[in-house]
Amino acid sequence: MCLVVPFTNYFKNTVHSEPVIQNYTTQVLCGLAYLHGRNTVHRDIKGANILVDPNGEIRLADFGMAKHITNCTSMLSFKGSPYWMAPEVAAIFKIGNSKNMSEIPDHLSSDAKSFIRQCLQQDPSL
């Protein structure tokens, strides 16, 4: 059995380099792409539902709010754990409803800045 810890505990009081963050972000996105490729949405992604094993491998957890999507399923409703959402999640909603994109820190690499811009893009077809 492999000991895993929630992402939030793993990052508590620790500063990680951009390549480490990029590695974890890539793993989370690959996990979500796997689910989406099987017509399933997690609907409760948060630090406590992302586990890290001792080798730095990511595991998505807690599929209690997951939903299998069919051709006639509507995804217009909001699901998640509102009482456990971090302030940055509320900020994402605010950014998503804003006409002006927030400033991205200058110290980030051009790849990181580009990734953040893509994540904040309101119209995904652009």
* pLDDT tens digit sequence for 63-107: 888 888 887 555 555 555 555 555 556 666 666 666 666 688 888
Q: Following DSSP, what letter does each residue of 41-58 receive, concatenated?
A: E-S---GGGEEE-TTS-E
pLDDT category, 125, cuts 50, 70, 90? confident
Average pLDDT, integer, range 13-40: 89
The top-level CATH class assigned to 1-71 is: mainly alpha
Domains of the chain, residue spans: 1-71, 86-121
- Phi (first) and psi of residue 32, to 5 degrees: -65, -40
The whole model's pTM is what? 0.71
pLDDT at 36 over 60: yes
Instruction: Tell me the chain's radius of gyration from C-alpha atoms.
Output: 16
Kindly list the catalytic residues. Answer: 44
